[in-house]
Structure 1
Amino acid sequence: MSGQSSNVENLSPQTIRQVAKEISELSSNPPEGIKVYPNEEDITDIQATIEGPGGTPYAGGLFRVKLVLGKGFPSVPPKGFFLTRIFHPNVASNGEICVNTLKKDWKPELGIKHVLLTIKCLLIYPNPESALNEEAGKLLLEQYEDYSLRAKMMTEIHAVPPRTSKECKNTMDDVPSTSAASEYSCNGPMAKKHAGDKKALEKKKKDKKRTLKRL
Structure 2
Amino acid sequence: MYIPICGYLEIIIFLPSKTVPFSSSHKIFLILNQESFAEELMASRRILKELRELQRDPPTSCSAGPVAQDMFHWQATIIGPNDSPYAGGVFQVTIHFPPDYPFKPPKVAFRTKVFHPNINNNGNICLDILRDQWSPALTISKVLLSICSLLTDPNPDDPLVPEIAHMYKTDSDKYESMARSWTQKYAMC
> Under TM normalisation by the shorter chain, which class is it?
0.7 to 0.9
Deviations, residues 107-132 of structure 1 (Å, cap 9, x unaligned):
11111111111111100110011111
Please say if 1:22 is aligned against 2:50: yes
> CA separation in 1, counterparts of 2:116 and 2:38?
33
State the 1:82 CA deviation: 0.5
Alpha carbons of structure 1 residues 10 and 80: separation in structure 2 relative to 1, 3 Å: farther
Which one has a bigger Cα radius of gyration? 2
Deviations, residues 141-161 of structure 1 (Å, cap 9, x unaligned):
11100100000000000101x
> CA separation in 2, counterparts of 1:10 and 1:70?
13
More helix per residue: 1
Normalising by structure 1, we get a TM-score of 0.67
**1:16-165 equivalences in 2 (<5 Å):** 16-160=44-188, 162=189
The residue identity in structure 2 corresponding to 1:32 is: T
Farther-moved stretch of structure 1 (109-118 vs 66-75): 66-75
Q: What is the SS of the residue equivalent to 1:141?
A: helix
State the 1:85 CA deviation: 0.4
State the 1:10 CA deviation: 8.0
> CA separation in 2, counterparts of 1:70 and 1:15?
8
Q: What is the SS of the residue equivalent to 1:44?
A: strand
> CA separation in 2, counterparts of 1:155 and 1:9?
42
Which of structure 1's runs of 4+ aligned residues deviate more than 3 A? Answer: 8-11
Sequence identity percentage: 36
Q: What are the ranges of 5 or more consecutive residues in structure 1 without an aligned counterpart?
A: 1-7, 163-215
Q: What is the SS of the residue equivalent to 2:103?
A: coil
**Aligned equivalent of 1:178:** none
State the 1:13 CA deviation: 1.4
Asked if the contact 1:100–1:106 (Cα under 8 Å) also holds between the matched residues in 2, the reply is yes
Q: What is the SS of the residue equivalent to 1:24?
A: helix
Deviations, residues 175-213 of structure 1 (Å, cap 9, x unaligned):
xxxxxxxxxxxxxxxxxxxxxxxxxxxxxxxxxxxxxxx
Alpha carbons of structure 1 residues 144 and 10: separation in structure 2 relative to 1, 3 Å: farther
Considering Cα pairs closer than 8 Å and 6+ residues apart, tell me whether 1 or 2 has the greater RCO: 1
State the 1:20 CA deviation: 0.9
The residue identity in structure 1 corresponding to 2:103 is: S
Q: What are the ranges of 5 or more consecutive residues in structure 2 without an aligned counterpart?
A: 1-35
